[in-house]
Each structure stands twice: as C-alpha cells, then as structure tokens.
Amino acid sequence: MSDISENIVGSGPPRRECMNHLDAVSDALYAIGGKWKLRIIVSMTDGSKRFNEMQRIITGISARVLSNELKDMELNGFVKRTVTSEHPAVVVYELTPYSATLTQVIQSLAEWGASHKEKIMRDAAEAATLH
C-alpha cells in the first residue's frame, strides 16, 4: 500500500499530519483545480499561444472562462502574458519555468485517467455480459 493510502486507510497519522496533508491538497487544488487549468497548460506545452488559438484547441471553453483562468494562472505564476508593440497589438501567452513543476503531476493524472477509463469500460463490458 502507498504511503498516502496507508495514511487514509490504516491506523492513520496523527491528526496534525492528516490536516497538513489535507491543507496541502487543498492548496494544490486551489492553484490547478477545476475543469480548465490543466487543459490550458497542456495546450501550451508545445509553445506560446494566442488567446484565440487556445480557445480553438480547448474544446468547449468560453472566451470569458479562458480569460479568467489565464488571469488566475498568471497570478499563480504558471503563465506569462506578453503584449507586443505591433499594431494591432498581439497578446501571447506562454508557460513559465515554474509551470514545469507540474509535469510529473500532469503525467501521473494522464496515466491514471487512461487506466481509470479502461477500468470503467472493462467493468461496463463485464456487467453487460452478466445481463
């Protein structure tokens, strides 16, 4: 069993350690949680993007939500917004070096997501054969 599951399922850590884990998870989810933030980061992994380009890549995101998420991500240090001096001005968003700290998190989530989807599909197929 992993350290985390042992802490959750086993006799458990002292209450303070458990609260520290919960606080850390809450802080992480505040910074990167929600439906869109990680999708936005993944959309920029191959280079900087303009606003409309991101909106086309990320299916289903509205301009208002994308704008709000980018502002929040800029405040958290994941995204840098650059306005060019061209006329008309061009706004470009790029990942900051700090966003690289999420690489392992995103990779782990992607692997878990693929595994979970396979499990759900397998369970559904098994359930269908029982009926």
Spatial separation of the C-alpha atoms in residues 78 and 45, rounded to whole Å:
12
- Domain 34-130, CATH: 1.10.10.10
CA distances to 19, 36, 59, 126 from 117, in Å: 31, 19, 20, 14
65-122 pLDDT per residue, tens: 999 999 999 999 999 999 988 888 899 999 999 999 999 999 999 999 999 999 999 9
Which DSSP string do the residues of 74-129 spell out, in sequence order? HHTTSEEEEE-SSSS--EEEEE-GGGGGGHHHHHHHHHHHHHHHHHHHHHHHHHHH
How many other β-carbons are positioned within 10 Å of the β-carbon of residue 74? Answer: 14
pLDDT at 2: 52
pLDDT at 6: 53
Contact 56, 114 (CB under 8 A): no
pLDDT at 12: 58
Q: Looking at per-residue confidence, does 114 or 5 come out higher?
A: 114
Question: What's the whole-number average pLDDT of the chain?
Answer: 89
From 7, 10, 11, select the one nearest 24 (Cα to Cα). Answer: 7
Domain ranges of the chain: 1-32, 34-130
Spatial separation of the C-alpha atoms in residues 120 and 126, rounded to whole Å:
10
pLDDT class of 1 with cuts at 50, 70, 90: very low
Q: Which element (helix H / strand E) includes 31?
A: helix 15-32
